[in-house]
Amino acid sequence: MTRNTNFIALLDQNPKIERVEAFVVDINGAPRGKWLHRDKALSLVTKGLPMPYSVYALDIWGADVEEAGLAFGTGDPDGVCWPIDATAALIPWAEKPTAQLMLSMKDASGEPYFADPRVILGGVVKRLELLGYTAVVATELEFYLTDRKLSAGDDVPPGAGQVLSIDALNEHQVVINAIMDACHMQNVPADTVLRENGPGQYEVNVVHCADACAAADHATLLKRIVKGCARQHGMEATFMAKPYGDQSGSGMHVHCSLLDQDGKPVFADDTGAPTKALFYGVGGLLATMPDMMLLFAPHANSYRRFRKNSHAPVSAGWGMDDRSAAVRVITGKPTETRIEQRVSGADCNPYLAVAGILAGVLHGITEKIEPCAALDPADCGTAGLPLPLEWGQAIDRFAASKTVEALFGASVRNMIVACKRQDYDGMLGRVSDVDYRTYFSAV
């Protein structure tokens, strides 16, 4: 057996580990996998872990999606999942000594499985590499901490309007400390935590990484860490895009830049001036954003976040250091010049959102797409190409997009559409309490 992996070293150094959580990430960003006894888990590095191909194409309730074509009518066969070795780490919130290991799937021929979100992102990364580019990516994730699970009619807790308050950070300092300690333990390079504007709303920033797949791993693991630490301390955490109707939504802001084959910045010259490549990247992001909205806002609740004057832009425009724009260009030293995409919700799948952003940048550079004029900040994010702000419209636009097909392939596009249409139909079949309160006696 090969024993020169981080995972094997972790088990060797921690003989009390009893269990390993081994998991992939489905189309909704949810972890799916198995608990393995320590002895069984040792075989992961030599044999992998069989799981059905259909594990990726599940609706938001965890049911198989027939139209995705990965389960029904196929015999629901297995692929083999292999360790992402850098993700091997201890789980501090588990009751028993437990380790975790993220996995990625290969098909029967040994090729990366097309439906794996990490593989989808990896495909975009490879296309950039063929042009001599390395993507540098960082994420900022917002979330709410609450004393209980949110339910309809819950009162909004006090404490709104405390953005960047140092005193307000003390409100949940025990949980925040646990989150940052767990990030360190799990090699998630989180370096900043701040209080956001909503009641009990926080943001954790993760250090940039010259490996887009690893950056998406970090965002995915951060979500697990926040939820696990919150539960450990008797609380709940949510990455819903809009958990409170009249409070700030939660986003996942993505910062990205490119390096050339010599490791030099592509988006700025030696003086720090923005290059044509940066503006082509912005142009590509803006041109593809309406078609790719489903990757950035994948759920029904996602669309409650987009409101004027909410820092959740309703159109595809850009600006220089303008937080109200969909795309914010940040300049400084050559290594600091970058693009920030501010549309994605915290509820997105990080792999798919980053894939959509990098694919847009790639499209802009290869097609030399000039962006529109920079927006006037007074427009508050409303100028530029209109974005689809209704879930069904976003699904239909993604489904019909030749650009999406060209960038990701028809199989990926159709699978995502099938999953989201099942979600959409399922939501239509669920009558909310708001419907009853509004219409039961009034009509």
Query: Are residue 82 and residue 195 in the same domain, yes or no?
Result: no
CB 69 within 8 A of CB 388: no
pLDDT of residue 147: 85
Query: Are residue 236 and residue 328 in the same domain, yes or no?
Result: yes
Instruction: Tell me what the mean pLDDT of segment 166-193 comes to.
Output: 91
Residue 344 clears pLDDT 90, i.e. is over it: yes
Mean pLDDT of all residues in the chain? 93
Give the pLDDT band of residue 71 (cuts 50, 70, 90): confident
Residue 279 clears pLDDT 90, i.e. is over it: yes
Instruction: Tell me what the mean pLDDT of segment 81-99 comes to.
Output: 97
Q: What angle do CA 354, 358, 361 make, to 5 degrees?
A: 145
Query: Are residue 14 and residue 157 in the same domain, yes or no?
Result: no
Residues 6+ apart with CB under 8 A from 404: 288, 291, 292, 398, 413
pLDDT of residue 312: 86
Number of domains forming the structure of the chain:
2
- Dmax (CA) of the chain: 70
d(CA 281, CA 327): 10
Residues 6+ apart with CB under 8 A from 247: 156, 160, 197, 198, 199, 201
Out of 47-51, 71-75, 372-376, 408-412, pick the least confident: 71-75
Instruction: Return the CATH number at 78.
Output: 3.10.20.70
Q: What percent of the chain has pLDDT over 90?
A: 84
Give the pLDDT band of residue 151 (cuts 50, 70, 90): low
Give the pLDDT band of residue 396 (cuts 50, 70, 90): very high
Residue 426 clears pLDDT 80, i.e. is over it: yes
Residue 315 clears pLDDT 90, i.e. is over it: yes
pLDDT of residue 152: 47
**Residue 414 domain flag:** no
pLDDT of residue 60: 97
CB 99 within 8 A of CB 91: yes
Residue 303 clears pLDDT 50, i.e. is over it: yes
HSE-CB of 94 using CA atoms within 13 angstroms: 16
More confident residue, 378 or 150: 378
Query: Are residue 318 and residue 398 in the same domain, yes or no?
Result: yes
Give the pLDDT band of residue 170 (cuts 50, 70, 90): confident
d(CA 303, CA 312): 10
pLDDT in tens, 201-257: 999 999 999 999 999 999 999 999 999 999 999 999 999 999 998 899 999 999 999
Q: What backbone torsions phi and psi does residue 22 show, to the nearest 5 degrees?
A: -110, 125
pLDDT of residue 375: 85
Residue 4 clears pLDDT 90, i.e. is over it: no
pLDDT of residue 163: 58
Query: Are residue 184 and residue 325 in the same domain, yes or no?
Result: yes
Query: Are residue 30 and residue 151 in the same domain, yes or no?
Result: no
What is the extent of the structural domain holding 55?
6-109
Q: What percent of the chain has pLDDT over 70?
A: 93
**Residue 363 domain flag:** yes
Query: Are residue 99 and residue 161 in the same domain, yes or no?
Result: no
Give the pLDDT band of residue 166 (cuts 50, 70, 90): low
**Residue 82 domain flag:** yes
Total residue count of the chain as it appears in this document: 443
pLDDT of residue 172: 87
Query: Are residue 59 and residue 196 in the same domain, yes or no?
Result: no
Instruction: Tell me what the mean pLDDT of segment 373-377 comes to.
Output: 84
d(CA 313, CA 306): 6
pLDDT of residue 155: 52
Instruction: Tell me what the mean pLDDT of segment 141-160 comes to.
Output: 69
Query: Are residue 216 and residue 182 in the same domain, yes or no?
Result: yes
